[in-house]
Chains A and B, each alone.
Chain A
């Protein structure tokens, strides 16, 4: 933990910004550089910053969930996205798509099992890295 007032004050803002940015990277990932891996990495850096500034205990509190649980939930989400198509007689991990709105005119919101899978990846990377870093921080 570092006792710097500026850092302490800045981290709260930075965590929020980084988290927001990471979700943005996650969601745009299918069409532009980004995705679950990158989003998860960015999101975790935010909380690592928080842990360095406020200490690992405060960081855990801010997370609300144990990071290893987040990772496991992510793995479960990814698996669910993979198993889901089986119920539609598709092979394991076949992407399922729905388009809300008019696809021809480009005015639509796509929702897909692929996105759910990417969210799973995001949570795994996010949770796994925080598990590691916080456990190591606890030691110091």
Chain B
């Protein structure tokens, strides 16, 4: 089963990379959700899969049964899921607000902070040269 899950994780990652390469930021977010799932599965599978034997100590016993599932990756994945959700929620609100303010979901059109500029103007270059007053002693 582990190998098949590994194969499936590959498909999940490929799909999410494809989505994240899109210019539509909504698709980017979908890619983000998919890749968090893929990452969680990666951690989970790395700890090996154990069917039907949760890491719980039975009533009256002091240790879990001998072949109980690996608890460590489960603990890691559990918090990762919640954090992944926080990231997703923040990204979604960001996209939402961006759309309201800029009126687009195309990431190439979001150039408010860094407008596309051509080459620095000649005047600017001259000003920069003047900024560096030179002295020619040595």
List the interface of chain A (C-beta within 8 A of B).
31-33, 37, 41, 125, 128-129, 132, 135-136, 139
Contact = CB atoms under 8 A, between A and B. Distances in A.
A135 B78 contact: no
Contacts of B57: 31
A33 B79 contact: no
Interface residue SS majority, chain A: helix
B90 to A, nearest CB: 8
Interface residues of B, number: 11
Given A37-B82, A125-B82, A32 B96 contact: no
B56 interface: yes
Interface centre among B54, B57, B86, B89 (most CB of A within 10 A): B89
B93 A32 contact: no
Nearest to A136: B93
A33 B54 contact: yes
Contacts of B79: 37
Contacts, number: 19
A130 to B, nearest CB: 11
Contacts of A129: 85, 89
A125 B79 CA distance: 11
A37 B86 CA distance: 13
A27 to B, nearest CB: 16
Nearest to B82: A37
Given A33-B54, A37-B79, A128 B86 contact: yes
B89 A132 contact: yes
B93 A132 contact: yes
A13 B89 CA distance: 28
A139 B79 CA distance: 29
Contacts of B78: 37
A121 to B, nearest CB: 9
Given A37-B78, A37-B79, A135 B56 contact: no
Given A32-B56, A37-B78, A135 B93 contact: yes
Interface string B87-111: 0010001001000000000000000
